[in-house]
């Protein structure tokens, strides 16, 4: 068939026939969009959720494999995989909040039980592992648990949306996916640091405290928490941090309670990492008042209670970083932030305390890869 002739035939058919065809196509498309438009939109959204879900699954599988490879060095038992899967599904049930009175103590108790049980399980899997590495593996498994949890929850909404074809369910899952992915990526970034024992951005507070206590005599003040007394321009500084270089956050709340009950303190300075807002620079330092500590809130509650009871002012200094920076190996910008934070602390001490005063300086954060 000659294409020239076909073209002539098409072009010779006047506007009527062509107009009819286009109108028919337009009506067909219009009807299609009325009856199937939403379905097509739902299908596209489901596909987007599925892609995100696959990425989270890869991150979760990668974390599991890293844990497995690391533990295989200490235990070559074929049942190791089952043991790891059991640990990855480990959960804790928060106490009831119908009557919130005393809930912090209950949370503290349940978390302590969980921690002890977790360490016991790990010790039974790898009995020859040293304490520092044990803490790092514990942190790594926590990352694995978080990724597994994220994957399961998103998969639940994906499958539920697919089953019910509910636009609102799928829409919510799709809308949440970018932030969930960001969180999952931050956790995935932590795997390398935790498996090799490198310092992470969250340890900025610990590093500041370590710099102050370097060379001084240290002693354990509470579980996984050390303190040292140093002199600074005529003031006595009691520096507290988690015991490093294993992955620990220690129990700063308990440590501060103990110190305050034992002696007169004129001020408490807390240093921690804080999540930066978009547009802020990594390593920026900010200053304020209050208990600079994250987590579930048990330590924060204890510190605030103790500070109120003994009427001690609480000063806070934070170094800003993103979630990914906080969980992955420390960036150079954060070390620059550490220097800035140290200078701020020195200035704060000079401005807010007198010669002869006693202060507590608490470096908050995970001390993985940071000694003292």
Partner 1 sequence: MSVKNSIGFIIVFLLMAALAACSIFFLLLAVNAYNQGFKETALYYSMAGLMGLIMSMYTLTRIVRRRPSTSTALNYEVQTLLRCLKCGFSNTRGFTDGDYVLGIGDKCPHCSTPMVILAIYRTSSKREKQ
| Interacting residue ranges for partner 1, rule: CB under 8 A | 7, 10-11, 15, 18-19, 22, 25, 44, 47-48, 50-51, 54-55, 58-59, 62, 185, 188-189, 191-192, 196-199, 207, 210-211, 214, 244-245, 324, 328-332, 334-335, 369-372
Compare residues 222 and 324 and give the one whose CB is closer to partner 1: 324
**Nearest distance, CB of residue 8 and partner 1, angstroms:** 9
Compare residues 54 and 166 and give the one whose CB is closer to partner 1: 54
**Nearest distance, CB of residue 52 and partner 1, angstroms:** 9
Q: What is the dihedral of CA 166, 167, 168, 169, to 10 degrees?
A: 50
Which residues neighbour 180 within 8 Å (Cβ) at sequence distance 6 or greater? 52, 56, 150, 154
Compare residues 161 and 199 and give the one whose CB is closer to partner 1: 199
**Nearest distance, CB of residue 312 and partner 1, angstroms:** 28
Query: How far is Cα of residue 260 from the mean position of the Cα atoms in its chain?
Result: 30
Compare residues 148 and 254 and give the one whose CB is closer to partner 1: 148
**Nearest distance, CB of residue 237 and partner 1, angstroms:** 17
Which residues neighbour 329 within 8 Å (Cβ) at sequence distance 6 or greater? 192, 193, 198, 199, 200
**Nearest distance, CB of residue 103 and partner 1, angstroms:** 37
The pairing of strands 285-289 and 314-321 is antiparallel
Compare residues 78 and 215 and give the one whose CB is closer to partner 1: 215
**Nearest distance, CB of residue 11 and partner 1, angstroms:** 6
Compare residues 49 and 83 and give the one whose CB is closer to partner 1: 49
CB atoms within 10 A of CB 255: 27
Tokens of 281: 């620079």
Is the Cβ–Cβ distance between 341 and 287 less than 8 Å?
A: no
**Nearest distance, CB of residue 126 and partner 1, angstroms:** 16
Tell me how far apart the alpha carbons of residues 369 and 115 are, in angstroms, rounded to a whole number. Answer: 20
* Chain position carrying tokens 């370097």: 214
* Chain position carrying tokens 């998969």: 155
Tell me how far apart the alpha carbons of residues 337 and 344 are, in angstroms, rounded to a whole number. Answer: 10
Compare residues 163 and 264 and give the one whose CB is closer to partner 1: 163
Is the Cβ–Cβ distance between 255 and 349 less than 8 Å?
A: no
């Amino acid at each position: 068939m000659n294409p020239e002739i076909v073209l002539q035939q098409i072009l010779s058919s006047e506007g009527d026939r062509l107009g009819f065809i286009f109108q028919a196509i337009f009506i067909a498309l219009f009807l299609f969009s009325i009856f199937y438009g939403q379905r097509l939109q739902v299908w596209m959204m489901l596909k987007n959720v599925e892609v995100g879900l696959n990425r989270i699954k890869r991150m979760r599988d990668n974390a599991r494999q890293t844990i497995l490879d690391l533990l295989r060095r200490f235990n070559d038992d074929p049942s190791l995989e089952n043991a790891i899967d059991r640990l990855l599904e480990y959960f804790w049930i928060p106490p009831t909040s119908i009557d919130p009175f005393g809930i912090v103590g209950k949370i503290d108790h349940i978390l302590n039980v969980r921690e002890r049980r977790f360490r016991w399980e790990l010790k039974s899997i790898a009995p020859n592992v040293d304490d520092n590495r044990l803490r790092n593996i514990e942190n790594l498994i926590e990352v694995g648990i978080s990724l597994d949890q994220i994957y399961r929850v998103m998969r639940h909404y994906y499958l539920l949306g697919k089953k019910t074809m509910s636009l609102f369910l799928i829409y919510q899952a799709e809308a949440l996916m970018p932030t969930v992915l960001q969180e999952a990526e931050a956790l995935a970034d932590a795997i390398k640091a935790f498996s090799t024992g490198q310092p992470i951005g969250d340890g900025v507070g610990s590093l500041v405290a370590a710099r102050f206590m370097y060379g001084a005599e240290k002693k354990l003040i509470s579980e996984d928490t050390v303190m040292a007394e140093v002199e600074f321009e005529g003031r006595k500084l009691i520096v507290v941090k988690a015991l490093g270089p294993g992955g620990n956050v220690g129990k700063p709340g308990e440590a501060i309670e103990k110190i305050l009950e034992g002696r007169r303190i004129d001020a408490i300075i807390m240093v921690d990492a804080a999540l930066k807002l978009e547009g802020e620079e990594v390593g920026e330092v900010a200053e304020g008042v209050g208990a600079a500590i994250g987590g579930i809130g048990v330590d924060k509650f204890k510190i605030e209670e103790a500070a109120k009871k003994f009427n001690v002012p609480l000063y806070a200094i934070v170094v800003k970083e993103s979630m990914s920076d906080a969980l992955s190996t420390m960036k150079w910008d954060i070390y620059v932030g550490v220097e800035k934070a140290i200078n701020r602390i020195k200035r704060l001490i000079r401005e807010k305390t007198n010669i002869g005063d006693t202060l507590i300086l608490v470096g908050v954060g995970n001390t993985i890869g940071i000694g003292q």
